[in-house]
Amino acid sequence: MQKAFDPESFESRLYGWWSERGCFRAEDESRKPSFSIAMPPPNITGALHNGHALFVTIEDVLTRWKRMSGFNTLWLPGTDHAGIATQMVVERELAKQGLKRQEMGRKAFLAKVWEWKEKHGNIIVDQMKRLGGSPDWSRLQFTMDPGLSKAVRHVFVTLFEQGLIYRGTRIINWCTRCQTALSDLEVTPTDRKGHFWHLKYVPTGGGEALVIATTRPETLLGDAAVAVHPEDDRYKKLIGKKVKLPLLGREIPVIADSYVDREFGSGALKVTPGHDFNDYDIGKRHNLEIISVFDKTGKVNEHGGVYQGLSIPEAREKILIDLEAQGLLVRTEDHAHSVGVCQRCERVAEPMVSDQWFMNVKPLAEKAIEAARKGEKLTLEEVDKRDDAIKFLPEGWVNTYYQWMENIRDWCVSRQLWWGHQIPAWYCHNGHITVSRDDATKCATCSSTKMRQDDDVLDTWFSSGLWPFTTLGWPEKTKAYERFYPTAVMETGFDILFFWVARMIMMGMHFNDGKVPFKRVYLHAMVRDEKGQKMSKTKGNVIDPLDIIKEYGADAFRFTLSIMAGQGRDVKLSLDRVEGYKAFCNKLWNASRYVLMRLGHVASELPGDPLPKADFQKITGGKPLAEWVSAGRAKFHPINRWILAELDRTIAAVESGLEEFRLNESSQALYDFVWGQYCDWYIEFSKELLQHSEFISETQGVMMHVLEQALKLSHPFIPFITEEIYQHLPERPGVEKGAALMLATFPKRNARTTPEAEQAIEMVAVWKASIEKLRAFRGENNISPKARPKITYEVSDRGKADAFIAGVPVIRALAQLESLEAETGYLRGNPTTGEVLSGTAKFFIPLKGLVDVDGELKRVEKEKQTTLADIEFTKSKLAKPTFIEKAPKELIDKEKDKLRALETRVADLDHALGRLRQLK
RNA sequence: GGGAACAUAGCUCAGCUGGGAGAGCGGCGCCCUUACAAGGCGUAGGUCACAGGUUCGAUCCCUGUUGUUCCCACCA
């Protein structure tokens, strides 16, 4: 092993090695239980960002954990064609060569997109590999693969046959730049500074003009009426009368509708059914004419009179000038309001009336709500066992889901794009529609053979909504489908809860006999920068995950993401943290080197004390280490028993964290164990233990076993470094040479703590406390780390004498003492002796030449003060009659014991103070 | 307008349904001790946003206030 941890030297080598050995493969036929995750397919236009890194990490941790735990594990990867996004990227690319999609024609353009896809579509796949992701790449799917496309058609046609998909003329959101319809979700409300213009509408019969406020004066071209509230006394007499539309002079009626808010503006509303959602509804109620005045490119059409041909902003400007000139503009005020913009290009989305395909999702939504309601009442384990319930994690999201689902509206599924699944509907020259799974050549109504397929494609989310089952070969009843549907968990970002998760649940249940597509939904947080701001190119605060990997290694990055991915919390990515966890990897690396040296399998750099080369065949008598440990651990040295108990505790913590997707808890437990226990204490203890021949082989065995288990336990989080170290481990019974850690068995928690383990934990706790007290004494008194004092001890708790004495050698070693012997009366009472008390023992330290008396006086005085405060606090607690009456007995006894101990302590401190003062 | 989450050490966060607050980074001091200076040891630093309530006891449960963030919604 190299001396320094250098992730670049092994990451890509190991990934290739796993891949060659088929470590990522899931089996269609297997006796093992199944565990499956459908990967949220990244867009083919995407470059790996931190959101991807987070989901790859989380899903890979789960996948690797389940794989090692004996499951036939499928993590199914794929990519999404991402209709608008991809089409825009390719169009931009072509524009550089002076090419336009409209001029090329559909066929040639699509050929270019496919070409682009072949070239760039898998970049993100390679990037996911850099992170160590372990999906079954042999099953990689693309939303426009033939199988999936076939399934999409099947779904569309089936829904059409069921009357759930229909073609209709309705008001929809339209992007004049992308020139396509958008669903409600693809329009993002954005705060914009605008104006409120107050316009005059003059009644035809004369009289006072109506003043109407609008933020969009250009829409007056399409006004079909003016609406007032039926109870509004100001306008009552005008209802049924007509007013003259400014500029155009068309006469429009004044109607009464209770939708109008009397308090808002002037209380009169211009109604433009062709270009406003609410006005469209009002228009329906009053049978108003729908006048569309803008065309698909956002220009005024032939209904706009002299304004025809102007763009919307141009028309607005001109209209305002003209209104002003005619004295019809009463006043203008600033007005901040929210407008819907196209999610992709950020241009203001126009409500327009248009022919589109819609899906009635309400009936599907009801069942999807039902599944979540069931899941809410069940535990995670119960949900895992059935296929009709879904559990949300964090639970709070389920409310957001209900809110949307309960108010769901028909989904506009057609898009006026070329890149995507073309709608399987054909029109004959008589205008009949034929919807068909195969390319229609004959009209179903009139048998005409002059057929033309609908130009439109489906919303990208339509096909991704089918992802969890179409990727398994559905509608064919494939083995993969039988084995892996429903999937275990859907892990993705909350930002696509409605776009994707909700639709998968609806579609999944509808097309799979009510079986949910996944049993758990785990919504992870957003990755933000360290100040909590969204990362964006314009802010310039984007951290490229590939740069992080390059600088700190994939493992350190993964570990950072895991430990920061507390449920539902934002992940504030800070490079300081990544650096800290790289240090953790380095620690693990070096601890492993130490172990290998002590096993004699790596040339020791230590002068002298060569240890025998560990022969595990001999040490364990041919048994696998785990068996040898569980058979013999009760009789091991307390230090070995203790670290095994700590390991058990860690296994339990890691596992329970993983079960509930609390990756932060699992990784924190690993960190604490590896660094805080194994490295800081066990390895230090072992240096002493290995000096005693009777403990050498036992300690070598335990040291090796614990390292191996720790590597297994950490592997899902930090796969590369653990595999690399694992491959350096010496031969041992039960482990095939060259076996991959990735496919090793995940540690199982030990049944329960035995008395022997309890005893060892207690003993080691006493030793650690003694060492810490002695170190603190040295630190506070500025005793040089190089000094090796000779000190003595006296056991204060006779019952624990043996336990304490067994630890004397390690205390001596870790507290850097020349000697630690039983006090024989020589140091006690000597005015130059310092005393350190630690629970069960008292230490006597000759101070002469080591310490300055003033410093020590200060220290003791300070400790006395805090102890006195503690006594005060405890006394007052015990003095309360209500506490004595109502608090549990154990607690009261504990408090009383504590008080006694504190009082003894104060007496000792007074004693020490007296001595020190004498010394002065 | 409706809903949700959050507010704990200088910074980033733990604290898993109540019994005297923890970690990492940063700070300070000492040490290149034979796995690791990407290290070791020690140490400082908190009225757990604020105000009430429940309780013997509240960072934790309830109510309100303030602040931050997010989602949903048709106010022209």
pLDDT digits (tens, 9 = 90+) for A599-645: 887 766 555 556 778 889 999 999 999 999 999 999 999 999 999 99
Q: Which structure tokens are listed for A908?
A: 């000792």
Exposed/middle/buried for residue A478 (C-beta within 10 Å: 0-12, 13-18, 19+)? middle
User: Residue A69, CB half-sphere, CA atoms under 13 Å: how many?
Assistant: 18
Nucleotide nearest to A816 (CA to C1'): B33
Distance CA A782, CA A853 (A): 11
Q: Quick one: average pLDDT of A145-165?
A: 95
| pLDDT at A540 (0 to 100) | 67
Share of chain A above pLDDT 70, in %: 97
Question: For A566 and B19, how far is CA from C1' in angstroms?
Answer: 27
Nucleotide nearest to A870 (CA to C1'): B20
Question: For A861 and B47, how far is CA from C1' in angstroms?
Answer: 26
> Which CATH number fits the domain A854-918, given the four candidates 1.10.10, 1.10.3470, 1.10.287, 1.10.238?
1.10.287
Distance CA A565, CA A665 (A): 9
Q: Is the per-residue pLDDT at A852 higher than 80? A: no
Question: For A399 and B61, how far is CA from C1' in angstroms?
Answer: 22
Q: Is the per-residue pLDDT at A69 higher than 70? A: yes
Which alpha helices (H) appear in A660-692, and where do they start and end? 663-671, 683-689
| pLDDT at A569 (0 to 100) | 65
Which residue lies nearest B42, CA-to-C1' measured? Answer: A779
Identify the three-state secondary structure at position A1: coil
Share of chain A above pLDDT 90, in %: 42
Distance CA A906, CA A724 (A): 54
Q: Is the per-residue pLDDT at A648 higher than 80? A: yes
Rg (CA), chain A: 37
Question: For A911 and B29, how far is CA from C1' in angstroms?
Answer: 29
Q: What pairing do the DSSP bridges indicate for beta strands A187-203 and A72-76?
A: unpaired
User: A163-167, A502-506, A665-669, A683-687 — which is least confidently predicted?
Assistant: A665-669
| pLDDT at A108 (0 to 100) | 92
Which residue lies nearest B57, CA-to-C1' measured? Answer: A883
| C-alpha closest to that of A341 among A456, A202, A185 | A185
Domain A175-352: give its CATH code: 3.90.740.10
Question: For A786 and B32, how far is CA from C1' in angstroms?
Answer: 13
Nucleotide nearest to A495 (CA to C1'): B71
Question: For A587 and B39, how far is CA from C1' in angstroms?
Answer: 9
Exposed/middle/buried for residue A800 (C-beta within 10 Å: 0-12, 13-18, 19+)? middle
Question: For A902 and B23, how far is CA from C1' in angstroms?
Answer: 28
Distance CA A59, CA A70 (A): 17
Question: For A920 and B4, how far is CA from C1' in angstroms?
Answer: 66
Question: For A758 and B36, how far is CA from C1' in angstroms?
Answer: 31
Nucleotide nearest to A608 (CA to C1'): B34
| C-alpha closest to that of A785 among A822, A814, A819 | A814
Give whichever of A135-149, A250-264, A882-896 has the largest mean pLDDT: A135-149
Q: Which structure tokens are listed for A537?
A: 């190119």
Domain ranges of chain A: 34-163+360-416+457-524, 175-352, 560-753, 761-851, 854-918
Nucleotide nearest to A771 (CA to C1'): B41
Question: For A588 and B39, how far is CA from C1' in angstroms?
Answer: 12
Q: Quick one: average pLDDT of A70-99?
A: 91
pLDDT classification of A830: cutoffs 50, 70, 90: confident
Question: For A548 and B10, how far is CA from C1' in angstroms?
Answer: 26
Domain A34-163+360-416+457-524: give its CATH code: 3.40.50.620
Which class is A560-753 in CATH? mainly alpha
| pLDDT at A606 (0 to 100) | 54
User: A64-73, A187-196, A675-684 — which is least confidently predicted?
Assistant: A187-196
Cβ neighbors of A115 (< 8 A, separation 6 or more) are none
pLDDT classification of A479: cutoffs 50, 70, 90: very high
Q: Is the ipTM of this complex over 0.85?
A: yes
Question: For A399 and B62, how far is CA from C1' in angstroms?
Answer: 22
Distance CA A910, CA A903 (A): 11
Nucleotide nearest to A533 (CA to C1'): B69
| C-alpha closest to that of A154 among A512, A499, A431, A405 | A512
Question: For A583 and B26, how far is CA from C1' in angstroms?
Answer: 16
Q: Is there a contact between A738 and A726 (Cβ–Cβ < 8 Å)?
A: no
Identify the three-state secondary structure at position A168: strand
Angle at A17 between CA A13 and CA A19, to 5 degrees: 120
Nucleotide nearest to A228 (CA to C1'): B76
CA dihedral A861, A866, A869, A875 (to 10 degrees): -110
Nucleotide nearest to A776 (CA to C1'): B42
Q: Which structure tokens are listed for A80?
A: 């999404």
Question: For A371 and B67, how far is CA from C1' in angstroms?
Answer: 37
Q: Is there a contact between A317 and A323 (Cβ–Cβ < 8 Å)?
A: no
Nucleotide nearest to A591 (CA to C1'): B35
Distance CA A578, CA A555 (A): 10
Question: For A131 and B33, how far is CA from C1' in angstroms?
Answer: 38
- Interhelix angle A638-659/A663-671, rounded to 10 degrees, is 160
Q: Quick one: average pLDDT of A214-233?
A: 88
Nucleotides of strand B within 7 Å of the protein's CB atoms: 2-5, 11-16, 19-20, 23-26, 29-31, 33-36, 38-43, 55-57, 70-76
Is the link from the previous residue into A486 a cis peptide, with omega within 30 of 0? yes
Question: For A684 and B36, how far is CA from C1' in angstroms?
Answer: 13
Which residue lies nearest B71, CA-to-C1' measured? Answer: A400
Question: For A530 and B11, how far is CA from C1' in angstroms?
Answer: 10
Which alpha helices (H) appear in A277-311, and where do they start and end? 277-286
Question: For A831 and B21, how far is CA from C1' in angstroms?
Answer: 39
Nucleotide nearest to A397 (CA to C1'): B4
Q: Quick one: average pLDDT of A673-701?
A: 92
Euclidean distance between the first and the last CA atom of chain A, given in angstroms as a whole number: 56
Nucleotide nearest to A869 (CA to C1'): B20
Question: For A659 and B15, how far is CA from C1' in angstroms?
Answer: 19
Question: For A598 and B42, how far is CA from C1' in angstroms?
Answer: 29
Segment A269-320, tens digit of pLDDT: 899 998 898 899 888 888 888 888 898 888 888 888 888 888 888 888 888 8
Nucleotide nearest to A219 (CA to C1'): B76
Segment A20-59, tens digit of pLDDT: 999 999 999 899 999 999 999 998 887 888 888 989 999 9
Which residue lies nearest B38, CA-to-C1' measured? Answer: A583
| C-alpha closest to that of A728 among A828, A548, A853, A590 | A590
Segment A377-419, tens digit of pLDDT: 888 888 899 999 998 888 778 888 888 888 888 899 999 999 9
| pLDDT at A568 (0 to 100) | 62
Q: Is the per-residue pLDDT at A179 higher than 60? A: yes
Question: For A563 and B68, how far is CA from C1' in angstroms?
Answer: 24
Q: Is the per-residue pLDDT at A711 higher than 90? A: yes
Which residue lies nearest B31, CA-to-C1' measured? Answer: A785
Nucleotide nearest to A261 (CA to C1'): B75
Segment A594-611, tens digit of pLDDT: 999 988 877 665 555 567
| pLDDT at A334 (0 to 100) | 82
Q: Is the per-residue pLDDT at A859 higher than 60? A: yes
Mean of all residue pLDDT scores within chain A: 88
Distance CA A517, CA A584 (A): 38
Which residue lies nearest B74, CA-to-C1' measured? Answer: A278
Q: Is there a contact between A257 and A285 (Cβ–Cβ < 8 Å)?
A: yes
Nucleotide nearest to A585 (CA to C1'): B38
Nucleotide nearest to A682 (CA to C1'): B35
Cβ neighbors of A762 (< 8 A, separation 6 or more) are A803
Task: Enter the pTM of the model.
Answer: 0.91
Q: Which structure tokens are listed for A887?
A: 């608090």
Segment A311-362, tens digit of pLDDT: 888 888 888 888 888 888 888 888 878 888 888 888 888 899 999 999 999 9
Note the Cα A533 to chain centre separation in Å.
Answer: 16
Q: Quick one: average pLDDT of A424-434?
A: 91
| pLDDT at A264 (0 to 100) | 81
Count CB neighbours of A322 within 10 A: 16
Q: Which structure tokens are listed for A819?
A: 């000697």
Nucleotide nearest to A568 (CA to C1'): B5
Which residue lies nearest B6, CA-to-C1' measured? Answer: A569
